[in-house]
Amino acid sequence: MKTNKPKALVLIPVENIVPFDGHPYKVLDDDSMNDLVISIQESGILEPLIVRSLEDAENKYEIISGHRRFRAAQKAGITEVPAFIRAINRDEAAIMLVDSNLHRERILPSEKAFAYKLKLQAIEHQGKTCGQVGHKSRDDISDTDSGRQVQRYIRLTNLIPELLDMMDEGKIAFSVGVELSFLSDELQYVVLNACEENENTPSYAQAVRMHKAYNAGELDYESIYDIMCEPKANQRETVKISAERIRSVIPQGYTAKQQEDYIIKALEHYRHYLYLQRQCDSR
pLDDT in tens, 52-97: 999 887 889 999 999 999 999 999 999 999 999 999 999 999 999 9
pLDDT at 233: 57
Mean per-residue pLDDT for 114-143? 73
> Which is higher by pLDDT, 113 or 233?
113
Q: For residue 133, is pLDDT > 50?
A: no
What is the predicted pLDDT for the residue at 64? 94
Sorting pLDDT into bands at 50, 70 and 90, what band is 181? very high
pLDDT at residue 134, as a whole number: 47
What's the pLDDT score for residue 150?
92
Residues 213 and 268 in one domain: no
Judge whether residue 248 has pLDDT over 90.
Answer: no
16, 4: one domain: yes
Residue 238: predicted pLDDT: 60
Average pLDDT over residues 219-237: 80
Residue 124 has pLDDT above 80, yes or no: yes
- Provide the pLDDT for residue 276: 77
Give just the sign of the alpha carbon dihedral 59, 63, 66, 72: positive
Spatial distance between the Cα atoms of 263 and 241, rounded to a whole number of angstroms: 11
In this prediction, residue 190 has a pLDDT band, given cuts at 50, 70 and 90, of: very high
Residues 43 and 84 in one domain: yes
pLDDT digits (tens, 9 = 90+) for 1-24: 444 555 679 999 999 999 998 888
9 shares its domain with 76: yes
- Determine the average pLDDT of the residues in 194-213: 94
Last residue of one domain, picked from the residues 158, 184, 205: 158
47 and 117 in one domain? no
- Is the same domain home to 4 and 66? yes
Identify which has the larger pLDDT, 155 or 255: 155
Query: Final residue of a domain: which of 135, 158, 181?
Result: 158
52 beta partners: 62, 86
**CATH code where residue 7 lies:** 3.90.1530.10
Q: Same structural domain for residues 96 and 9? A: yes
User: What is the span of the domain harbouring residue 128?
Assistant: 103-158
The 17-18 sheet, strands edge to edge: 10-13, 80-86, 49-53, 61-65, 17-18
Instruction: Report the distance separating Cα 154 and Cα 177, nearest Å.
Output: 11
Q: What is the mean pLDDT of the chain?
A: 86
Residue where one domain finishes, among candidates 219, 235, 251: 235
Average pLDDT over residues 242-256: 79
* Same structural domain, 148 and 71: no
Same domain flag for 80 and 138: no
Number of domains into which the chain is organized: 4
166 in the same domain as 153: no
pLDDT confidence of residue 247: 75
Judgement on whether residues 70 and 112 belong to the same structural domain of the protein: no
Identify the CA nearest to 184 among candidates 219, 141, 154: 219
Other beta carbons less than 10 A from residue 147's beta carbon = 13
Q: 146: which residues sit within 8 A by CB, 6+ positions away? A: 139
**Nearest alpha carbon to residue 176 among 106, 232, 216, 138:** 232
Q: Tell me, yes or no, whether 137 and 97 share the same domain.
A: no
Whether 135 shows a pLDDT value over 60: the answer reads no
pLDDT at 140 > cutoff 90: no
**pLDDT at residue 273, rounded to an integer:** 78
Least confident of 25-29, 76-80, 88-92, 248-252: 248-252
